[in-house]
């Protein structure tokens, strides 16, 4: 199917003998924001790490769909895995920028690591491309800034610009609004919607923030810490009305917050 970017199939995740989540089944569609929701420690970041091929499933698979057919990110050849990795950008939880480099150099880094993945062959082209990405996240005047001089929200934006350096169709964001005040967090939600609507990116993000879930999610995937499996998947407003009771309670708290 053309509008599907990847499919998670019967995925079971574990650390050694410790089961984290089992039997996860869902897809990620082109142009959607899918938010992964669940209590602390239920396995949201672990799921992202499986989706980007940093961890190998205990069972099941993560399949990327494309011209070559379905490719299992955990079992393809290292060359094919490197290719698959160019289809997505990642912002990890800490959103860390390298403090020894300027903001612009941070954004150029993926271009230097994957020189074949883009048309920015020369230093000048890379510079220009990084400036474009910084402009896109509202940081056009910060190219030469030291990361330590940025605010928390600006640092997240710069990390998103870096994740977009190679123009991947898909972005993974692990708790982008963690640690931000509500206004900065709202602005980040706006940026996420803009990336989807104006730049046709698909976004998979982890979030605890209920306001964010309603603000950006086309669909929310609920992972349950007790049942150790997914309990709901759908548009948050639908789940608020028709989801399982525990999910409705969680979302209602969010509406009240």
Ligand X SMILES: Nc1ncnc2c1ncn2[C@@H]1O[C@H](COP(=O)(O)OP(=O)(O)OP(=O)(O)O)[C@@H](O)[C@H]1O
Contact between 161 and 176 under an 8 Å Cβ cutoff? The reply is no
Instruction: Give the interface segment with ligand X, choosing from 35-43, 94-102, 136-144, 179-187 (CB under 6 A).
Output: 35-43
Helices 152-163, 182-197: inter-axial angle, 10-degree rounding = 20
Instruction: Give the interface segment with ligand X, choosing from 44-52, 133-141, 143-151, 239-247 (CB under 6 A).
Output: 44-52
Q: Is the Cβ of residue 148 or residue 226 nearer to ligand X in the bound state? A: 226
Please name which of 54, 89, 85 lies closest in space to residue 164, comparing C-alpha atoms.
Answer: 89
DSSP assignment of 122-168 equals SHHHHHHHHHHHHHHTT-GGGTT--GGGS-HHHHHHHHHHHHTTT--
Q: Is the Cβ of residue 56 or residue 123 nearer to ligand X in the bound state? A: 56
Tell whether residue 95 is a contact of ligand X (CB under 6 A): no
Q: Is the Cβ of residue 37 or residue 120 nearer to ligand X in the bound state? A: 37
We find the least distance from the C-beta atom of residue 36 to ligand X, in angstroms, to be 8
Contact between 222 and 230 under an 8 Å Cβ cutoff? The reply is yes
Tell whether residue 43 is a contact of ligand X (CB under 6 A): yes
SS3 (DSSP) at 15: strand
Instruction: Give the interface segment with ligand X, choosing from 41-49, 72-80, 136-144, 242-250 (CB under 6 A).
Output: 41-49
Q: What span, in angstroms and rounded, lies between the C-alpha atoms of 19 and 180?
A: 31
Tell whether residue 213 is a contact of ligand X (CB under 6 A): no
The one among 6, 8, 37, 44 contacting ligand X by CB under 6 A: 44
Tell whether residue 38 is a contact of ligand X (CB under 6 A): yes
Q: What span, in angstroms and rounded, lies between the C-alpha atoms of 182 and 122?
A: 40
We find the least distance from the C-beta atom of residue 42 to ligand X, in angstroms, to be 4
The residues facing 238 across adjacent strands are none
Tell whether residue 11 is a contact of ligand X (CB under 6 A): no
The residues facing 71 across adjacent strands are 64
We find the least distance from the C-beta atom of residue 224 to ligand X, in angstroms, to be 11
Tell whether residue 20 is a contact of ligand X (CB under 6 A): yes
Tell whether residue 205 is a contact of ligand X (CB under 6 A): no
Q: Residues binding ligand X: what is the number (CB under 6 A)?
A: 10
The one among 3, 10, 15, 23 contacting ligand X by CB under 6 A: 15
For 130, 213, 233, the CA distances from 204, given in Å and listed in that order, are: 23, 12, 13
Q: Which residues bind ligand X (CB under 6 A)?
A: 15, 20, 38, 40-46
């Amino acid at each position: 199917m053309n509008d599907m970017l990847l499919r998670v199939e019967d995925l079971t995740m574990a650390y050694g003998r410790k089961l984290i989540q089992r039997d996860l089944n869902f897809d990620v569609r082109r142009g959607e924001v899918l938010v992964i929701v669940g209590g602390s420690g239920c396995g949201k970041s672990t799921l992202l790490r499986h989706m980007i091929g940093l961890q190998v499933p205990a069972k099941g698979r993560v399949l990327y769909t494309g011209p070559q057919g379905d490719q299992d990110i955990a079992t393809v050849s290292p060359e094919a895995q490197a290719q698959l990795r160019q289809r997505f950008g990642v912002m990890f939880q800490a959103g860390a920028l390298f403090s020894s480099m300027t903001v612009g150099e941070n954004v150029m880094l993926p271009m230097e690591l994957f020189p074949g993945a883009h048309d920015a062959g020369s230093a000048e082209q890379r510079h220009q491309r990084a400036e474009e990405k910084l402009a896109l996240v509202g940081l056009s005047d910060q190219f030469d800034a030291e990361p330590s001089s940025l605010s928390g929200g600006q640092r997240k934006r710069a990390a998103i610009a870096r994740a977009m350096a190679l123009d991947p169709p898909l972005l993974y964001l692990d708790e982008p609004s963690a640690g931000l005040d509500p206004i900065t967090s709202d602005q980040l939600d706006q940026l996420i919607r803009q990336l989807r609507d104006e730049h046709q990116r698909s976004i998979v993000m982890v979030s605890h923030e209920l306001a964010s879930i309603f603000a950006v999610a086309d669909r929310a995937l609920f992972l349950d810490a007790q049942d150790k499996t997914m309990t709901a998947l759908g548009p948050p407003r639908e789940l608020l009305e028709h989801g399982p009771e525990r999910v409705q309670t969680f979302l209602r708290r969010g509406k009240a917050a």
